[in-house]
Structure 1
């Protein structure tokens, strides 16, 4: 039997609620949507690049969002001293190199990073600020609210990519 990405019981976006509940709900919806786009696909399908010469694949998007979750919630906002999940020293697109990646392990790492990101933000005020230091030496103040909004935008953009990749793989379309 060939391994297939598990199905997901996708949570729906919230329609009403306080700001924190809406931000969290939309982020959860987009996280689930990325997993939903991977559901039922084989390891080879998850590794299949979208269009040459791009290395973009569904598994690459999972790995990218694993990194982005860690970078924004844990490393930058919470200031946790945790290493990057991929070695970017020789390849700035390391997370998209999936030829030998194990999809089951990558999906587990993604889910674990989501749990760690949620824990880093749990109980913290949306107005809590942190300093983002940029490569050019400049810095700026950002809030946890900004991180939530950025993450929702990041997932929404990449879920559009995932939708096109999934359609190319097996013709499945939809949200």
Structure 2
């Protein structure tokens, strides 16, 4: 996923979609070039790792666009729908695998949202009534925050010497 061409003027939807794609790409950029071992390094007390951030982001895409916006049952979503384990990456999964999973989830999110108006609403069990506009803003916030986490983890990895 490469960073999309900057959009600074356009409809509200164009701007929201650009910012979401921008932060998707920024998040992926935090793991590009890391070895498999580096991507799995735990540098903070939580289970957060660079690759785990991407795995979690894929879960977030599926949760908000497939489960909430499209109303799909978990069995029809593209991957694991267990929130507690969303940062966990299997030993058999590579950085490339997890990036591809995130990109597939983003592609499906775009397809699902394409014909839905920003004011369309859905029900979420914890948040109540939410609009597509709100989902876009939430995902922009989520991916921007996690890209910041990824930047800090990457800086720590780079400063400690590459493995």
TM-score normalised per structure 1: 0.81
Higher RCO, Cα 8 Å, sep 6+: 2
Distance 1:50 1:66, change over 3 A: same
Q: Residue 167 in 1 paired to residue 155 in 2? A: yes
RMSD: 1.8
Instruction: Show the counterpart of 2:26.
Output: 33
**CA deviation map 1:22-66 (0-9, x unaligned):** 000000000000111111111111111122x22101110011000
Contact 2:55 2:88 in 1 (8 A): no
Distance 1:154 1:19 in 2: 19
Deviations 1:56-85 (A, max 9, x none): 011100110000000001100110223463
Correspondent of 2:87 among 87, 92, 96: 96
Asked if the contact 1:30–1:156 (Cα under 8 Å) also holds between the matched residues in 2, the reply is yes
- TM-score, normalised via structure 2 length: 0.87
Aligned length: 156
Q: Distance in 1 between matches of 2:152 and 2:32?
A: 15
Aligned partners of 2:23 and 2:144 also within 8 Å: yes
Kindly indicate which of the two structures has a greater share of residues assigned to helix: 2
Q: 5+ residue gaps in structure 2?
A: none
4+ residue segments displaced more than 6 Å: none
Cα distance in 2, alignment partners of residues 56 and 107 from structure 1? 16
